[in-house]
Amino acid sequence: MNEPRRLAAVAVELPEGMTPPGTRGQVLHAALALFAEYGFHGTSIRDIARRVGITSASLYAHYPAKADILAALVLLGHQELHTRLQRALVTAGTSPGGQLAALVRAHVLAHADYPLLATVANSELHALTAEQAAPALALREQSRHLLLEVLRHGTATGAFTVADELLAAVAVGSIGLRVAAWFGPDQPYTREEVADAFAEFALRIVDATTARERQR
């Protein structure tokens, strides 16, 4: 284990309600903090056990293998994000600009609220086998599809002006994803300020016009 901190974040947090109770949940919390900081291969099962306050042998009463702990975290992270994106879209109304802003705000807020989870879900996924990663990757594809559909609808109706929706989706997604890496309590912004600013950037990327502007 090494010294430099990988993340500015302090609070280790997992989404409520979706986390298993008791020791099983404590294992998840401990593994999340360690995987985010040192990576999956940089963390030993003894490290996790020590943080929970049990021995490494006791871990196996809760998870069959180390990789299964990671798989649970990766899936949880993708579920939380997808749920938030869906909720955002449902309450966003019908204007393409409003929908895009809602998606970006939800994306940013999810990464601001659970930076550790987002980091582990995204950059430790390679430590899983294809079968273990599959459920999370399926969710990721669905989330990507939500954004893509909003962009396509926006360009089709003339609300957006984008040469290539796929590239726009990648760009918009990138600014939200990276929030997990830099945002934290050390930054001079609230999570809402970042969400608003990045939603505005997304609208600019697609050259969104308001209804009033279109009437001119």
Binding site for DNA (CB under 7 A): 22-24, 43-47, 49, 53-58, 60-62, 64-67
Q: Which does 65 bind (CB under 5 to 8 A by kind): DNA, its own copies, none?
A: DNA
What count of other Cβ atoms lies within 10 Å of the Cβ of residue 133?
Answer: 19
Helix (H) or strand (E) segment spanning residue 67? helix 66-90
Q: How many residues are present in the chain?
A: 216
How many residues touch its own copies (CB under 8 A)? 40
* Least CB distance to DNA at residue 64 (A): 7
* Least CB distance to its own copies at residue 61 (A): 25
Nearer to its own copies, 83 or 123 (CB): 123
One of 167, 190, 192, 214 touching its own copies (CB under 8 A): 167
Q: Is 80:117 a contact under the CB 8 Å cutoff? A: yes
Q: Is 74:124 a contact under the CB 8 Å cutoff? A: yes
* Least CB distance to DNA at residue 52 (A): 8
Nearer to DNA, 6 or 24 (CB): 24
Nearer to its own copies, 29 or 111 (CB): 111
Nearer to DNA, 29 or 111 (CB): 29
What count of other Cβ atoms lies within 10 Å of the Cβ of residue 30?
Answer: 22
Residue 202 to residues 17, 113, 122, 148, Cα–Cα distance (Å): 31, 20, 22, 13
